[in-house]
Structure formats: C-alpha cells, structure tokens
C-alpha cells in the first residue's frame, strides 16, 4: 500500500486501560498509528514505560513522548506533590483534574498529525472516566474538532483532521470486553494515580476503583498487580 | 485591592513586537498580567531573553517559560534546522508555519489561567502577521474561546475564560503607534526569524520585512539592530 493510500492516525497513549483499547481499536480498523504520550510532569511516570510497551505490542508505527513542564504550575494532585491524591470519591470536579490537560494533549496531537499527515486523532476519553472532568465530555471533543478545522494548514488547504473518541459512550466493562476480544493484555496497562515504581496499583484511588469495578462488571479476571495485596 | 477584586490575565509573550504591545495594552487596561512564553524548540531562543526583559519592564506580575519539546517533530523552518528560513515572501502558507503553534500556546495559557484564576488570555495575533497562518484568524480565536468554555473547571462552575486578540484587526503601523504612545521600547523586542545571539535582526525575512514596513508607515524611527547594517 502506498503512503498516500494509508490511513494514518495519531493516537494519544497514556499507558492506561482506555488509551490502550483505543490503540487496539484503531489498529483493528486498519489504521497506521503514531502513538503519542505527553509527559506533563505527572507523578505516575511509570505510565510512560507502560505506554512504550503497549505501542510496541499493539503495533504502532512509532511512539513519541513530548515533555511539557507544566508541573511547575502545580494546580492538580497529579502534578503537585503538595496535593494528596484522594482515596475516596469527593464529588464535583476532583483535585486530580489537571487544568486544560486534554486541550494541551489534543493540541500537541494536532501539530504532530499535521506533520505526519494523519487524518485522525484518537483519544480515550469516556463517560465513566469523566468523573467530573470537563474536558472528557462529547461537546468538548466536538469543539476541539471544530477548532482543528480552523487551526491547521490541512484544514485550510484540504480536509480537516477528525477527532475520534471511540470510548466516549462506553462503560468501563464494555471497554474491557472489547479490548479483551481484540487481545489487549491489560496486565501491561497502568491506571492508578499512585502506582509504585514497578507499576503496581494502590487499588483505592478513583482510577483504581473504576478499573476494578469494570473488570468485575465485565466478568473478566483483573490482571492488575496491587502493591498491597490485602486490599 | 483584594486578590478577588483584581482582574487577572495570562498574556502570551514571545519577545516580539506584537506581544510586547499586547502586554502594554493589558497593563494600561489595569490588568494584573501573568506573562507566558512557550519554548517549543524554536531557533530564535534569543526571543525568550527579550520576553523576560519585556515582562519586567512592562510590569508583569510574573513571567514563566514552558518548554515543549515539539522541535523533535520538525515540520517547520522555525523548529527544523533542515528547512531554510525563506528570505523572500513565498505565497500560500509559509514554511515558517509551526503546526498547531497557536493552539498549543493557547492550551498552555488556558491551563495556567485556570490555576492563577485569570479571567482572560491575551494573544498578539493580527491580520498583517497572518501571512497565511491559519491560526492567526479571528475565527480561530473565536473557536478557541468556545473550546475554553467547555474545557475548564471555571467554564463549568463559573464564568468562562475569555480570549482577547486586541491586535487582530490592526495594521503593523497602528500597533507600533499604539505601543509608542504607551511607552513601549521596541528596541527590546526581537521579531526576526533568524536573529543572531545578540538579538540582532537579519532585515530580510518575512517577520523583519513586516516590521520594517510598519515602522516606515507609522513614521517612527526603527530602533531595531540589524546584524548586516548594509541592508
């Protein structure tokens, strides 16, 4: 297949369960995938190692990490060591919300998409993971897609880059069932906000709770390694 | 004045003529200004030193530089040493276009605005500087503002952050006249795409050409230092 006939996508890959499923879906759809991880100073850098493994195992063409020293601004439990990651749901928009995180990640993906001539950007936001995050809603994705059409050379000279959020309406259990059917090894993924250096999960934070409940609801054995097995 | 009564803005400050004028306008408007420079791997790093000086001289509350290693992707004469900066206008969207540059910068400004509780973001795009850049158009700014309302905690819980582009309809001569009236020392600014380490300009690139013509049209003596005085 020539380069021109290829369908290319930039896939945002955090190393977590959702974005791994997005990459597997895009590959199953025949897309040539350029995986992008953004290191914005998050505490769970072990996710980036997971992302690199997943990109390779799931057949991405390449994997890049863009570093953004956004952590200097603090403002979130995920980037500011002075804010504790909550162990229980708190209601409202949680302190793990990173200001403008998905806007920043999509903006970087947009720039790279234009360079590699990708026609699509894929991101793993979904309604369950929403948890009160404003930038995980379908209307946010639609607004970014509209912006992308105005922001880029291809939007002006050719066809605008599309933004796909294939998980946006799926439950965590649906996502897991779909990924298992595609052969995704979720043991390679890291979702925990407080994972240790080996990538083992706390089992208690919001991300762990959603993930555990997802495996139970899907009827799939949870392959996650927890650092406190008693939990 | 209490912190709550203060009007705060994040001002994108490149170190060039336009963004210096935007900062001066915002200060004259009584805003408390948080100046943000984005180092996306551009060749003209001397601009960042100019930005720091301007932030101080023009009375910004603080100045931050966010580094984004976007240069790894190439794709523009401003970030890729393998692409020459043109010395003549080329027509169409120029090779100095950095993919998604203003989207990335506005996204970072949006995140910081949310953290410092700024109600506005100011950016120095304008119709003359447009030069074929898609992300300098008023419709791009409007689309980003709409996105900002959906992307953030304040957009959901309070009043959305506004995006101001006060130069968007102004000619370069108008910008210069306005800045001079506000006391901006344009000798501190660096616009050239190929400035040397001392911040001296080539006098020939698109940015220099627009700037020189602006000073002539404004009837203001050009304070720019050129590295080849014969030009």
Residue-wise pLDDT tens digits, B184-215:
999 999 988 888 888 899 999 888 998 999 99
Q: Are A67 and A140 in contact (CB under 8 A)?
A: no
pLDDT class for A186, splitting at 50, 70, 90?
A: very high
* Residue B131, phi-psi category: left (phi > 0), alpha (psi -120 to 50), beta (remainder): left
Mind telling me how many Å the CA of A132 is from chain B's nearest CA? 9
The tokens describing A126, both together, are 């979904």
- Which is nearest to A59 in space by CA: A37, A27, A16? A27
Distance CA B104, CA B211 (A): 25
Question: Which residues of chain B make contact with A62, given a CB cutoff of 8 A?
Answer: none
Distance CA B57, CA B37 (A): 15
Least confident stretch, A7-16, A152-161, B98-107, B137-146: A152-161
In the 3-class helix/strand/coil scheme, how is A23-59 assigned residue by residue? HHHHHHCCCEEEEEEEECCCCCCHHHHHHHHHHHHCC
> Residue B99 and residue A144: Cβ atoms within 8 Å?
no
Strands laid side by side in the B32-39 sheet = B62-67, B32-39, B8-12, B120-122, B162-164
Class of residue A116 by CB neighbours under 10 A (exposed 0-12, middle 13-18, buried 19+): middle
Interface test with B, best of A71, A77, A108 (most B CBs within 10 A): A108
C-alpha atoms less than 13 angstroms from C-alpha of B31 in its C-beta half-sphere: 24
Alpha-carbon gap: B156 to the closest alpha carbon of chain A (Å): 7
Please report where in the chains the tokens 């690139």 appear, as a residue: B205
Residue A123: closest CA among A154, A92, A152, A161 = A161
Q: Provide the CA A203 distance to its chain's centre, in angstroms.
A: 19
Place of tokens 């309302």: B149
What is the distance, to the nearest Å, from the Cα of residue A215 to the centroid of all Cα atoms in its chain? 18
pLDDT at A134: 84
CB contact under 8 A, A103 and B151: yes
d(CA B231, CA B201): 10
The Cβ-side half-sphere exposure at B201, using a 13 Å CA radius, reads 28
| Poorest-pLDDT segment among A34-43, A142-151, B10-19, B212-221 | A34-43
- Which chain A residues are within 8 Å of B146, Cβ to Cβ? 143, 146-147
All residues of chain A having their beta carbon less than 8 Å from the beta carbon of residue B71 are none
User: What is the model's pLDDT at position A78?
Assistant: 56
- pLDDT at position A1 over 60: no
CB pairs under 8 A between A and B: 146
C-alpha distances (whole Å) from A151 to each of A120, B136, B140, B144, B153 are 14, 8, 6, 9, 24
Q: Which residue has the tokens 């953290």?
A: B115
Q: Which residues of A touch B114 (CB under 8 A)?
A: 75, 99-100
Rg (CA), chain A: 17
Taking the C-alpha atoms of residue A40 and residue A119, their distance in angstroms, rounded to an integer, is: 25
Whether A204 and A195 have beta carbons less than 8 Å apart is answered as: no
Mutate to test the interface with B, among A74, A107, A116, A148 (most CBs of B within 10 A): A107
- pLDDT at site B162: 96
Which residues face B112 on adjacent strands? none
Residues of chain B in contact with residue A168, where contact means CB-CB under 8 angstroms, are none
Nearest-10 Cα torsion for B41, B169, B199, B226: 130
CB of B146 within 8 Å of any CB in chain A?
yes
State chain B's mean pLDDT as an integer: 86
| Chain-centre distance for alpha carbon B25 | 13
- Confirm if A10 and A118 have CB atoms less than 8 A apart: yes
Find chain B residues with C-beta within 8 A of A139's C-beta. 150
Lowest mean pLDDT among A2-6, A19-23, B99-103, B173-177: A2-6
Q: How far is A116 from chain B (nearest CA, A)?
A: 9
Q: Which contiguous run of DSSP H or E holds residue B213? A: helix B206-218
Q: For residue B115, which residues of chain A lie inside 8 Å, CB to CB?
A: 73-75, 99
CB contact under 8 A, B68 and A72: no
pLDDT over 60 at A2, yes or no: no
Nearest-angstrom CA–CA distance, A184 and B39: 37
Whether the per-residue pLDDT at A207 is higher than 70: the answer is yes
Cα distance between residue B172 and residue B116, in whole Å: 31
Q: Which carries the bigger pLDDT value, residue B77 or residue B139? A: B139
Max CA-CA distance within chain B? 58
Q: Residue B97 — pLDDT band, cuts 50, 70, 90?
A: low
Domains of chain B in start order, with CATH, are 8-218 (3.40.50.620)
Contact B152 A99 (CB under 8 A): yes
- Does A151 reach chain B within 8 Å, measured CB to CB? yes
Instruction: Test B140 with A156 for CB contact under 8 angstroms.
Output: no
CA atoms of B23 and B217, how far apart (whole Å): 22
Q: If we measure between CA atoms, which residue out of A68, A59, A52 comes closest to residue A14?
A: A52
The pLDDT, as a whole number, for residue B2 is: 47
Residues A165, B45: Cα–Cα separation, whole Å: 36
């Amino acid at each position: 297949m020539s380069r021109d006939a290829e369908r290319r996508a930039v896939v945002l890959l955090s190393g977590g369960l959702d974005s791994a499923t997005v990459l597997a879906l895009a590959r199953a759809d025949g897309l040539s995938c350029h995986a992008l991880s953004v290191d914005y100073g998050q505490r769970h850098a072990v996710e980036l190692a997971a992302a690199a493994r997943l990109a390779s195992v799931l057949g991405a063409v390449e994997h890049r990490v863009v570093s953004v020293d956004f952590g200097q601004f603090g403002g979130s439990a995920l980037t500011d060591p002075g804010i504790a990651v909550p162990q229980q749901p708190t209601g409202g928009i949680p302190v793990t919300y990173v200001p403008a995180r998905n806007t920043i990640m999509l903006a970087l993906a947009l720039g790279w998409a234009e360079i590699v001539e990708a026609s699509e950007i894929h991101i793993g936001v979904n309604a369950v993971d929403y948890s009160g995050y404003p930038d995980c809603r379908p209307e946010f994705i639609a607004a970014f897609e509209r912006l992308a059409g105005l922001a880029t050379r291809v939007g002006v000279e050719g066809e605008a880059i599309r933004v796909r959020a294939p998980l946006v309406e799926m439950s965590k259990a649906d996502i897991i069932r779909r990924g298992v059917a595609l052969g995704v090894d979720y043991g390679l993924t890291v979702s925990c906000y407080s994972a240790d250096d080996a990538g083992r999960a706390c089992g208690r934070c919001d991300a762990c709770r959603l993930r555990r409940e997802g495996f139970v609801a899907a009827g799939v054995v949870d392959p996650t390694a927890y650092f406190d097995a008693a939990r």
